[in-house]
Chain A
Amino acid sequence: MRQLIIIGSGPAGFTAAIYAARAQLEPLLIASSVQVGGELMNTTEVENFPGFPAGIQGPELMMQMQEQAEKFGTEVVYDDVVNLELDGDVKKVTLGSGETLEAQAVIFATGSAYRKLGLADEERLSGRGVSWCATCDGFFFKEKVIAVVGGGDSAMEEATFLTRFGSKVIVIHRKGELRASKIMQERAFNDPKIEFIWNSEVVGITGTDAASGLILRDTVTGEQSEIEIGGLFVAIGNDPRTHLVHGQLQLTPEGTIAVDGRSSKTSLTGVFAAGDVIDPTYRQAITAAGSGTVAALDAEHFLASIPEILPDGPVPADADALVSAH
């Protein structure tokens, strides 16, 4: 049995791994099979991660985090977790390969997934002009009118990035002002290729084989209108990826995993959570990394407080009492 398994390979997971590995907990990090590195893998320049005054590419930053975690003895597994049994002293983690791993403690850092508009047309035209990843798909919309839905930093980043390809980028936002940081707003406002449609939400996407237009509804007047587009990028936020722990860990009203105060302790002993999956508010690479640190230190403290489990020996009945923090 392992001491610690970390689930997730974004800034939270790898930072937790760096700390846990340096504490000689020999962590195993389950990185997923196709989304290794998490959300930053789909970004370009990261300008706000301290220590990189010239900026750093998101994928490069993640590769360096992984290298640092591995340098201290983290073992990385490229598979997906398909099932978790988190109650009890032995946590069981089942992988896509069918293998079940056991650990005394688990750090859950699965991040968040792109939020969808929730339209039937969106499913139908996904990969046919509707996309969630500008860095992956922007290339295919050269000289086309590209719409971006959303008003946060990621929407502004996508819009700015897409001006390299599109003849014009239209940002559609359901409010009259942006949620994005000032610098990202300024950059978008000053870009001659970016236009804004305010107080509007997308209620339909037209096109049979490929997205060709949007049906918009004015959020103030309720009036509907139609615009022609060549592509649509959806950047309306993310939802915490919690489906593996539904019914096992307590969640908050926002849908994130509930943790005790400023700690990473979840509703189950020996289970810690970090990064976007516990954070409905800040969701930055650096806050996720900080949160990963908290989880590793909490896990280290927890592991130090439980007696070593002998192969056949019983676990003392008061083992849990030492660490109850809820």
Chain B
Amino acid sequence: MTARAVTEATFDAEVLKSEKTVLVDFWAEWCGPCRAVSPILDQIASEHSDKIDIVKVNVDENPQLAMKYQITSIPAFKVYQAGEVVKTVIGAKPKPALEADLAAYIS
């Protein structure tokens, strides 16, 4: 399962108004660490699909979202609950480290 792409047009409905906790992976094609961490996020998403929804925002194609959420380093992961950012994790990390960072939202 690969995380689905969310855009400026769908962000409101799919992230901010979601009833579920949503993790947004801000990434870009040219970012090596983003590509490396992507399969790990997919694993976390399928293992915890009852708790969290994981989606991707391509910062090249959605610069307004990147600007609004002050992304200056990617990969950046932001967890949204009820339209608010409740957690930010920056940088590609091994799966156990990411799971530890996200423990409050996936366990």
Residues of A within 8 A of B (CB): 32-37, 41-42, 59, 79-80, 96, 126-129, 131, 133, 135-137, 139-141, 209-210, 231
Contacts and interface: CB of A to CB of B under 8 A. Distances in A.
B94 A33 contact: yes
Given A80-B94, A127-B88, 9 more contacts: A33-B40, A34-B93, A35-B92, A37-B32, A133-B33, A137-B72, A139-B28, A139-B60, A140-B71
Nearest to A142: B63
A96 B72 contact: no
A127 B94 contact: no
Nearest to B59: A139
Contacts of B31: 135-136
Given A34-B37, A36-B36, A133-B33, A126 B90 contact: yes
12 contacts: A33-B95, A35-B33, A96-B95, A96-B96, A126-B90, A128-B70, A129-B72, A131-B72, A135-B31, A137-B72, A139-B59, A139-B60
A35 B34 CA distance: 10
B96 A141 contact: no
A141 B59 CA distance: 13
A140 B66 contact: yes
Interface of B: 28, 30-34, 36-37, 40, 59-60, 66, 70-74, 76, 88, 90-96
A242 B31 CA distance: 26
B67 to A, nearest CB: 9
Nearest to A137: B73
A41 B31 CA distance: 9
Contact of B30 (A129, A135, A209): A135
A76 to B, nearest CB: 13
A141 B91 CA distance: 17
Contacts of A80: 94
Contacts, number: 71
B75 to A, nearest CB: 8
B58 to A, nearest CB: 12
Contacts of B59: 139-140
Contacts of A231: 72
Contacts of B88: 127
Contacts of B66: 140
A153 B74 CA distance: 23
A128 B95 CA distance: 23
Contact of A59 (B32, B60, B73): B32
B88 to A, nearest CB: 8
A33 B96 CA distance: 10
B74 A136 contact: yes
Contacts of B36: 33-36, 41
Looking at B32, B40, B66, the one whose CB has the most chain A CB atoms below 10 A away is B32
Nearest to A44: B30
Contact of A141 (B72, B90, B95): B72
B92 A127 contact: no
B103 to A, nearest CB: 16
A59 B32 CA distance: 8
A223 B11 CA distance: 49
Contact of A128 (B60, B72, B92, B96): B72
Nearest to A211: B72
A127 B91 contact: yes
Contacts of A33: 36, 40, 94-95
Contacts of A34: 33, 36-37, 40, 92-94
A322 B90 CA distance: 50
Contacts of A133: 33, 73
A33 B36 CA distance: 7
A38 B52 CA distance: 31
Contacts of A131: 72-73
A101 B60 CA distance: 41
A210 B72 contact: yes
Nearest to A144: B72
